[in-house]
Amino acid sequence: MGKFMGGIYGPEGAKIAAGFPFGRFTNLLDVGGGQGHILAEILKKHPGTRGGVFDLPKTADQARGFLAGAGLTDRAAVVAGDFFESVPSGYDAYIAKSVLHDWDDQKSVQILRNCRKAMGDNGRMLICEIVVQPGKSLGHPHRFIDLEMMVTLGGRERTAREFSALLTEAGFKTEGVTMIADSFFGIVEGKPA
């Protein structure tokens, strides 16, 4: 699954890394980060930032190999676990890219609450997803995959207002939404309420 997701979303990584000020964070955890494609792009673009990938054990093993191959083992850690149980602490920011669209609202809030429990009062939650703009086409080339996620797992694409509601329920206040240039992704930023 990690290779599949990297193939679909990997080309967006450089745009995301360039389109948001990740350099303001000392360290960043990619929650459900797969093999580490997005984290690798962020670390390449922002050399003063360190990071980590958090994913299930089998995927975490793949991430170790990928990040080693990218020459980032000195700046990137890999932690295995389940984001429905807990999330590692000690990071300035937590990014969940293409994670919440897999899950219904209840499970999405559970993931966000676990991130909130792990972070300090000055931490940031970064939801990187397709941000649906009412009245506009998604422009997403993989709508059938998203439909499959909705049918099999109950997930869906959401508007900025819907992401903000999830953040509020999980103990955050929405700071803003940054749309990534030339991409169908946006980053909804939350801070502890």
Residue 101 annotated to the active site: yes
Give the span between the Cα atoms of 119 and 126, in whole angstroms: 12
- Pair 38, 97: CB distance under 8 Å: yes
Query: Which one of the listed residues 37, 46, 101, 140 is annotated catalytic?
Result: 101
By annotation, the residues acting in catalysis are 101
